[in-house]
Amino acid sequence: MAENYIIEAEGLTKKYDKLVAVDNLNLQIKSGEIYGLLGPNGAGKTTTILMMLGLSEPTAGRVLVDGYNSTTQPIKVKQITGYLPDNIGFYEDLTGRENLRFIAQLNGVPSKHMDERIDLALERVGLLDVGDKAAGTYSRGMRQRLGIADLLIKDPKVVILDEPTLGLDPEGIEYMLQLIRDLSKKDGRTVLISSHLLHQVQRVCDRVGIFVKGKLLASGPIDTLADQVFGRDSYMLELKSDRHDKELYRLINSIPGVLDVTAEGDKLVIRSEKDIRKELSVKIFESGFTLLHLRLLERELDDIYRKYFEKKEGFDAQPNLQRVRSTVQ
Amino acid sequence: MRSPIYSGLGVLYSKEISDHLRSKRFMIILVLVGIICLSSIYSAGMGIREAINKQSDDFIFLKLFSSSGDFIPSFASFISFLGPLIGLSLGFDAINGERARGTLNRLLAQPIHRDTVIVGKFLAGTSILSIMVLSLGVAVAGLGIIMTGIPPSFEEIGRLAVYLVLTVVYIGIWYAISLMFSLVFRQTATSALAGIALWLFMAVFVGLLAGIIANGLYPVNNRPSIETVLKHETLKQNLSRVSPLIIYNEAVTTILNPGVRTMGLIMSSQLEGAIAGTLPLGQSMLLIWAHFVTMAAMIMTCFAISYIIFMRQEIRTA
């Protein structure tokens, strides 16, 4: 069983003082797949990656990359793993080619093949014509691509990309995604992408994991993800009426199959076992309410996105507000 | 065969060396130091010509380094004052610069041990300043021979070599300090400023502070007893030895001037019966051995602290 997974995290935990950055993470990544570790900023994605590379020590748990423990055998792990950090930096006075040569030398690439390999890598990312310019003159997109070339020099089994599309223009994003796809499909490498840009990255991923506040909420192919996050056997209805009083609640609850009703802003969210839209609209009309809004919430990535990514600040602000209030009183 | 523990050290070392040599910063320092040395050696040379005509003295060649002209300080005091600047400027952004540019985590993601990075940087920096100091010393010596026409004796060559080694160690201290600051402070500007502040403190204020403290404990006024004066001077000297500048200056004075046989106060009773003369190199070495060891220890302490910080520091700039 263990042979199928090239990256395995078991009970991985990282604490900074009191803050728990990564909380008991269990993650398996299959050989040759593209896995997207998706989550809002500050979810602990980069910390997880650093632990995979042995650049940061876990507080508890362990990571195995191709059978090597990242904490105790970091050199072995780093030999087979290529890492593209977010905000990648190059030695600006050196040319793109010299930057790659330095990495090649550090990885012990024999000098016979070095120039050949550097040219191949540059060509693949479309930087062959600017390879002799100083890296300091490169644009953001070019730097990211040089970062990919940097990985190719190493010829790694596993590629870890941290926010690879951040700050790129639409064209650059497409180019980058195509490169990432090729890394996996053409070269047969395992790719791990970390990103908060769910919409961009989901297109190339075979499987994704939703990672929020140090916890993996769901993991799997994208189409099964929504079910995992929101629960499999329920429908969600969003309803707005002219008045939300006790009578309305009683009315809704009287419909067979309704599980619960909660108020969310000026709307009610009804969870039910089956689609009750028809029944509900008729009953509401008969009881003299005016139906202003009724929508079946699609349990899709968009909802996941809304719930964890867009509204993240809103979610955080809520308890803070209460805390402030209680101190005022 | 490369040892597996330090694989990549050679690559890193040569990259650091070429980085230093190519950097504009290095050129600026080199030009600055070159100008200062030329002027001081020129003025010393002028002075020596007059001195030779007046008196016959041993160790004239060493005076090239230790004697000052009318307006310009000696080569040795120039180096003692400006050496820190060389060391600090070589290392103040060693680690935090890489961190700021985002190259550090890319570098550490390569199959090398973490300490390879700091060891490589330290070795490269010390090599660069050794090369710089040695070539400077040899150039000045050569210039001196041309100007004065006096060849150095063997002893003088020996003393010159010791002087240059001392200077390498001395500048090495400041390099190690700046490397340490580049780990302690996240901003390169902060670490540079901290280095300069420490340099000025050591150069100017340590002496003053030592004087004030010694004055407070053993006041020397209104016909003090000889014991108080002695204690005062000893305390002042020991306190000011906190500064690498002071230690270096003492050592250099001893090594460049064979007439120096002790540091600090001596009473006339101690000099009674002493034959005026110069010390052989071995005896001078004995006199400054403690200085030498202290300076080496300063480097090692700073490097050890840097090493520990670097190994423990989180890669992430949280």
Q: Which tokens is A178 given?
A: 């195509």
Most B-contacting residue of A91, A144, A192 (CB-CB within 10 A), to test interface: A91
Mean pLDDT computed over B4-9? 73
Phi-psi region of A288 (alpha: psi -120 to 50; beta: other; left: phi over 0): left
Q: Do A78 and B316 touch (CB under 8 A)?
A: no
Q: 3-class SS at A193? A: strand
Q: What length does chain A have?
A: 329
More confident residue, A266 or B192: B192
Q: Cβ contacts of residue B176 below 8 Å, gap of 6+?
A: B87, B91, B122, B298, B299, B302, B303, B306
Q: Are B86 and B174 in contact (CB under 8 A)?
A: yes
Q: Is the pLDDT of residue B281 over 60?
A: yes
Q: Are strands A5-16 and A60-65 parallel, antiparallel or unpaired?
A: antiparallel
Q: Are A121 and A100 in contact (CB under 8 A)?
A: yes
To which H or E segment does residue A190 belong? strand A190-195
DSSP state at residue A237: E
- Please provide the average confidence, as pLDDT, over all residues in chain B: 87
DSSP string, A264-297: ETTEEEEEESS--HHHHHHHHHHTT--EEEEEEP
Residue among B249, B255, B246, B243 nearest B284 (CA): B255
- Tell me the pLDDT tens digit for each residue of B155-175: 889 999 999 999 999 999 999
Nearest to A55 among B23, B98, B105 (CB): B105
Nearest to B22 among A93, A103, A106 (CB): A93
Residue with tokens 């995992």, as numbered in its chain: A228
Chain B residue whose CA is closest to A136: B101
**Separation of alpha carbons B249 and B211, rounded Å:** 17
Angle ∠(A205,A220,A196) on CA atoms, nearest 5:
55
Q: Is the pLDDT of residue B1 over 50?
A: no
| Residue A170 distance to chain B (closest CA, Å) | 24
Q: Which tokens is A98 given?
A: 């010299």
Residues of B in contact with A157 (CB under 8 A): none
Residues of B in contact with A47 (CB under 8 A): 316
Q: How confident is the model at residue B53 (pLDDT cuts 50, 70, 90)?
A: low
Q: Is the pLDDT of residue B55 over 60?
A: no
Range with the lowest mean pLDDT among A235-239, B68-72, B287-291, B306-310?
B68-72
In this prediction, residue A114 carries a pLDDT of: 93
Q: Cβ contacts of residue B286 below 8 Å, gap of 6+?
A: none
Angle ∠(B305,B191,B9) on CA atoms, nearest 5:
55
Residue among B154, B199, B191 nearest B173 (CA): B199
Q: Does B261 touch chain A (CB under 8 A)?
A: no
* Cα→Cα distances A243→A18, A133, A191, Å: 45, 67, 52
In this prediction, residue A177 carries a pLDDT of: 94
Q: Which tokens is A180 given?
A: 């990432």
Q: Does B112 touch chain A (CB under 8 A)?
A: yes
Residue type, B147: M
Burial B185-210 (b: 16+ CB within 10 A, else e): beebeebbebbbebbeebbeebbebb
Residue among B74, B79, B78, B59 nearest B148 (CA): B59
**Separation of alpha carbons B58 and A329, rounded Å:** 88
Q: Cβ contacts of residue A299 below 8 Å, gap of 6+?
A: A226, A227, A229, A230, A236
CA atoms within 13 A on the CB side of A142: 18
Residues of A in contact with B315 (CB under 8 A): 50, 55-56
Range with the lowest mean pLDDT among A60-69, A87-96, B256-265, B288-297?
B256-265
* Cα→Cα distances A133→A93, A139, A148, A311, Å: 9, 12, 17, 43
User: Would you say the C-alpha torsion A169, A170, A173, A175 has a positive or negative sign?
Assistant: negative
| C-beta neighbour count of A281 within 10 angstroms | 13
Mean pLDDT computed over B40-46? 78
Q: Cβ contacts of residue B272 below 8 Å, gap of 6+?
A: none
Q: Cβ contacts of residue B108 below 8 Å, gap of 6+?
A: A55, B114, B117, B315
Of all residues in chain B, the percent with pLDDT exceeding 70 is 94
Residues of B in contact with A167 (CB under 8 A): none
Those residues of chain A that have pLDDT short of 50 are: 1-2, 311-329
- Tell me the pLDDT tens digit for each residue of B110-137: 999 989 999 999 999 999 999 999 998 8
| C-beta neighbour count of B102 within 10 angstroms | 17
Q: 3-class SS at A226? A: helix
**Separation of alpha carbons B212 and A255, rounded Å:** 91
- Tell me the pLDDT tens digit for each residue of A90-142: 999 999 999 999 999 999 899 898 999 999 999 999 999 999 999 999 999 99
Residues of B in contact with A85 (CB under 8 A): 102, 105-106, 109
**Separation of alpha carbons B173 and B115, rounded Å:** 20
In this prediction, residue B291 carries a pLDDT of: 94
In this prediction, residue A217 carries a pLDDT of: 84
Q: Which tokens is A266 given?
A: 């000026």
DSSP string, A51-75: HHTTSS--SEEEEEETTEETTT-HH
In this prediction, residue B266 carries a pLDDT of: 74
Across-strand partners of A271? A236, A260
- Tell me the pLDDT tens digit for each residue of A10-39: 999 999 888 899 999 999 999 999 999 988
- Tell me the pLDDT tens digit for each residue of B206-246: 989 999 999 888 888 778 888 888 888 889 999 999 999 99
In this prediction, residue B164 carries a pLDDT of: 94
In this prediction, residue B2 carries a pLDDT of: 45
